[in-house]
Amino acid sequence: MSKREPKLYFADILLAIKKIEKYSSDLTFVKFSKDEKTVDAVVRNFEVLGEAVNNLSNDIKKNNTNLPWKKIVSMRNKVIHEYFGVDLEILWQTIKEDLPEFKSQIISIASSYYPNDLGLPIGDTSTMEEY
Q: Exactly one of 45, 49, 75, 76 is catalytic; name it.
A: 76
Please check the confidence at residue 22 and state whether its pLDDT lies above 60. yes
Active site residue 81: yes
Higher pLDDT, 44 or 122: 44
Per residue, what are the HEC states of 19-66? HHHHHHCCCCHHHHHHCHHHHHHHHHHHHHHHHHHHHCCHHHHHCCCC
Rounded to the nearest integer, the mean pLDDT of the chain is 85
Q: Exactly one of 25, 59, 81, 85 is catalytic; name it.
A: 81
Please check the confidence at residue 21 and state whether its pLDDT lies above 70. yes
Total count of residues recorded for the chain: 131
Q: How far is CA 121 from CA 5, 25, 34, 38, 126, in A?
A: 12, 25, 34, 25, 9
Give residue 113's pLDDT.
Answer: 86
Amino acid letter for position 67 = L
**pTM, whole model, 2 decimals?**
0.83
* Mean pLDDT calculated for residue range 48-73: 91
Give residue 103's pLDDT.
Answer: 93
- Domain parsing of the chain, residue ranges: 6-120
